[in-house]
Amino acid sequence: MANLRYDDRHHGAPRLPSAFINSASLFAAIDLGLFTAVAAGAGTPAAFAAEAGISELNADRLMTMCCASGLLEWDGTVYRNAADVQRFLVEGEARYAGAWLQFMRPGWGKWGDLTELLKTDEPAQVTPRSVIDMTVESARDYHKATASVGFGAGRRFSRDVDLTGRKRMMDLGGGSGAYSIVAAQQFDGLSAVVCDLPAVVPVTREFIDEYDVADRVSAEAVDFTRDAFPTGCDVAVMASNLPMYGREVIAEVIGRAFAALEPGGEMHLVGEMLDDDRAGPADAAIWGLAETLANSTGMSHTRAECVAYFERAGFTDVTVHEFIPGVLTRVTGHKP
């Protein structure tokens, strides 16, 4: 099985000096359509070379590397895709997640300057530049990538959390609206308002129209670091934006969500949280460190820190749940 996620604690640590070569070969393989070609039967260097328009020597090198990193498997005669590569990296398939797996690729050049970036004396920005500078066009690309995994996460959320009887959900930084759209489809009588930045809202509305839920899901321009939150909600969700902000901002947002929720309401924070021993998962550390590139206040937050934000806000019965093991954790609290 290939390691398409950064979820193994200390996975591959002895190879750290050359780990970027794994990333480079994965990206080149996606660019050249390697996994799609192999799925269609081009399982030898000669066949793939002809498909991709590269030399057989280079096809051989790339396929050998992809096999060594677990993306391909060799059966003695031909290469085949590893199970999760076949599932997520064959273009045209419903679960194709190539855009998501390349989500961090635009930072490729900047990671080479990490040492210099870590030495910056510029003050950190509350809202990351990557978010402030978003245009409707870049938001559309960004959420094409998030939606390729976000709707799966949204379905998992609606399986794990029973919102029967709930009336209205606010989805802070809801992006594609995946969590809201799935929940509104799943739970009779539930409506949702997706809150995101102005450039994202038109894109959210495109997803709302695509899923035909405009009668129950709406989108509003709300910067959750400073704008007022919707009223009349008995559920608040905030998913997959935790490491983009520092401790003060996250604590403040959770405090304001508590104030805005109806009495008896519930809040769910889904994020890339560090284990309390801080030894992983690597995903949480990577998203935190990536904020250095944006010079934001963002960082990794531990599960215990997130529980403390909830309790400080006034939430009770605060619990921690495994959500996507090794990637996302859910912290849930109730407003008395």
Ligand X SMILES: C[S@@+](CC[C@H](N)C(=O)[O-])C[C@H]1O[C@@H](n2cnc3c(N)ncnc32)[C@H](O)[C@@H]1O
State the pairing for strand pair 235-239/168-172: parallel
Rank residues 81 and 241 by Cβ distance to ligand X and give the closer one.
Answer: 241
Options 39, 42, 235, 239; binder of ligand X; rule CB under 6 A: 239
Q: What is the DSSP string of 111-128?
A: HTTHHHHHT--SPPBSS-
State the pairing for strand pair 72-74/79-81: antiparallel
Interface map 197-216 toward ligand X (x if CB under 6 A): x--x----------------
Q: Is 173 in the site for ligand X (CB under 6 A)?
A: yes
Q: Is 196 in the site for ligand X (CB under 6 A)?
A: yes
Q: Is 225 in the site for ligand X (CB under 6 A)?
A: yes
Q: Is 176 in the site for ligand X (CB under 6 A)?
A: yes
Q: Is 47 in the site for ligand X (CB under 6 A)?
A: no
Options 22, 241, 296, 332; binder of ligand X; rule CB under 6 A: 241
CB atoms within 10 A of CB 176: 28
Q: Which residue has the tokens 């799943």?
A: 186
Interface map 123-162 toward ligand X (x if CB under 6 A): ----x---x--------------x---x--x---------
| CB 174 to ligand X: min, Å | 5
Q: Is 234 in the site for ligand X (CB under 6 A)?
A: no
Rank residues 59 and 222 by Cβ distance to ligand X and give the closer one.
Answer: 222
Q: Is 296 in the site for ligand X (CB under 6 A)?
A: no
Q: Cα–Cα distance between 201 and 121 in angstroms, integer?
A: 34
Looking at beta carbons, which pairs linking 132-141 to residues 24 or more positions away fall under 8 Å?
134/197, 134/199, 134/200, 135/199, 136/199, 136/202, 136/203, 138/199, 139/199, 139/200, 139/202, 139/203, 140/203, 140/206, 141/99
| CB 73 to ligand X: min, Å | 31
State the pairing for strand pair 328-334/217-221: unpaired
Q: Which residues bind ligand X (CB under 6 A)?
A: 127, 131, 146, 150, 153, 173-176, 178, 195-197, 200, 222-225, 239-241, 244
